[in-house]
Amino acid sequence: MTENYNKVLTPEQKAKLRKLKYMALDMDGTIYLGSNLFPFTTEFLSSTEKAGVGHSFLTNNPTKSVADYISKLAKMGVPATEDNMYTTSLAAIDFIKEKYPQAKRLFMLGTPSMVSQFEKAGFEACADDPDDVPDVLVVAFDPTLEYSRLCRATWWASQGIPYVATNPDRVCPTDQKTILVDCGSLQKCIEWASGRKPDIVLGKPDPTMLQGIMHKLGLQPDEVAMIGDRIYTDTAMAHNAGAVGVLVLSGETTLETALKVAEDARNNPAPEFFPPDFIVRDIKELGEMIIESKK
């Protein structure tokens, strides 16, 4: 909780949690870290479901197709279907089809799994060839990145090709002793070399995916919570959609950073980021708070 982390819930906070009917859950850093499911995740999902709070999984990480994410979760013992899985690859596909209906061929910085998601949607992947001109450039988080392809993407950006980025994340959470350079950092690299920013950056904090959940299920913003480990994507998305924002400290963001954001918001009429409605250690703590509020 922003004002009284780890203290007793106020009546106002209980009332806010009592209204919840649905949760949009970030994945990496929230329900698992890297390849390790948090030991409390399955109990959290089960207990909140019994309390009348449904959920979807929503991720800025486009490296896997929806089928791959469903398979990964299933291996961890977490059931999921296409109906409750949202990725930035799907958001990019929907955007391109709406904004550029004639687009067919794409130059993509992305994993083979991500490329397969676009191909399933009817797009074709361009080669790393100056004569294979794409209709749209798509830049995503790409652990399989080849230097020549980064250079080719930068060239197409410099040539004015429509340019879509899947997400703004600077790094991807990991339980390993390394830094996983994410899509936001690739965008900065391309911008520095070409002078061009993406025409649009999808994924969180853009509210489109969360608004889609509300529209599909007929829910009001105060009945939906966006839960994740990043202020600049997860809880920023909640703010942009008018939903409840819950920050978990099990991933990227530290309590110190979260409290600094809260202080800045108190002292600045136009803060860079708005503080989350709740700060919790992890989803286990959040689940306990939701159950308590529903009694």
Q: What is the mean pLDDT of the chain?
A: 93
**Cβ within 8 Å of residue 37, ≥6 positions away:** 31, 76, 77, 78
CA distance 291 to 40: 15
Q: Is the pLDDT of residue 144 over 60?
A: yes
Pick the CATH number of 11-60+204-294 from 3.90.1170.40, 3.30.70.360, 3.40.50.1000, 3.40.50.1970: 3.40.50.1000
pLDDT digits (tens, 9 = 90+) for 199-229: 999 988 989 889 888 988 999 999 999 999 9
What is the structure's pLDDT at 31?
97
What are the DSSP E strand ranges found in the chain? 22-25, 32-33, 36-37, 54-59, 85-87, 105-109, 124-125, 136-139, 163-165, 171-172, 180-181, 200-201, 224-228, 244-248, 278-280
Q: Is the pLDDT of residue 87 over 50?
A: yes
**Cβ within 8 Å of residue 17, ≥6 positions away:** 9, 289, 290, 293, 294
pLDDT digits (tens, 9 = 90+) for 11-31: 899 999 999 999 999 998 999
Query: Are 26 and 51 a contacting pair, CB within 8 Å?
Result: no
Q: What is the CA radius of gyration of the chain?
A: 19
The architecture (CATH level 2) of 100-201 comes to 3-Layer(aba) Sandwich (3.40)
What is the structure's pLDDT at 3?
43
Among 66-70, 147-151, 191-195, the range scoring the smallest mean pLDDT is 66-70
pLDDT digits (tens, 9 = 90+) for 171-184: 987 878 999 999 99
DSSP string, 102-136: T--EEEEES-HHHHHHHHHTT-EEPPS-TTS--SE
Q: What's CA 7's distance to the chain center, in Å?
A: 28
- The residue-averaged pLDDT of 105-131 equals 97
Cα–Cα distances (Å) from 188 to 170, 195, 250, in that order, read 9, 9, 27
Q: Which two tokens stand for residue 284?
A: 């286990």
Cα–Cα distances (Å) from 114 to 230, 233, 280, in that order, read 23, 21, 32
Band the pLDDT of 5: cuts 50, 70, 90.
low
Cβ-based burial of 146 (10 A; exposed 0-12, middle 13-18, buried ≥19): exposed
Band the pLDDT of 7: cuts 50, 70, 90.
low
What is the structure's pLDDT at 1?
47
53 DSSP 8-state letter: -
Q: What's CA 258's distance to the chain center, in Å?
A: 18
Query: At 237, is the secondary structure helix, strand, or coil?
Result: helix
Q: What residues does each domain of the chain span?
A: 11-60+204-294, 100-201
Q: What's CA 265's distance to the chain center, in Å?
A: 23
Share of the chain above pLDDT 70, in %: 98
